[in-house]
Amino acid sequence: MNQALTAAPVLAAALRKMAPFVYRCPNTGLRVQGFIAEDPLDDGESYEAITCLACRRLHLVNPVTGRVLGEDDE
């Protein structure tokens, strides 16, 4: 019995649920890839609190648009 084979479908399902997105860190200006555990809502208005890998602070990011709440370059 190959445990890797039996675990593969579960892993694939878990990866499908992880929704990767890219945002621009407002503190460092770097493009950062983030992951959220759930599918983002399709309304384009939901912001997710994620810990930034670039500056290690918390950002509110819209995973649909990649916009960061509080970004001041508008």
- Give residues in contact with Zn ion (CB under 5 A): 25, 27, 52, 54-55
In the complex, the smallest distance separating the C-beta of residue 22 from Zn ion, rounded to whole angstroms, is 13
* 3-class DSSP string for 3-60: HHHHHHHHHHHHHHHCEEEEEECCCCCCEEEEEECCCCCCCCCCCEEEECCCCCCEEE
In the complex, the smallest distance separating the C-beta of residue 31 from Zn ion, rounded to whole angstroms, is 11
When the beta carbons of 12 and 51 are compared against Zn ion, the nearer one is 51
When the beta carbons of 55 and 60 are compared against Zn ion, the nearer one is 55
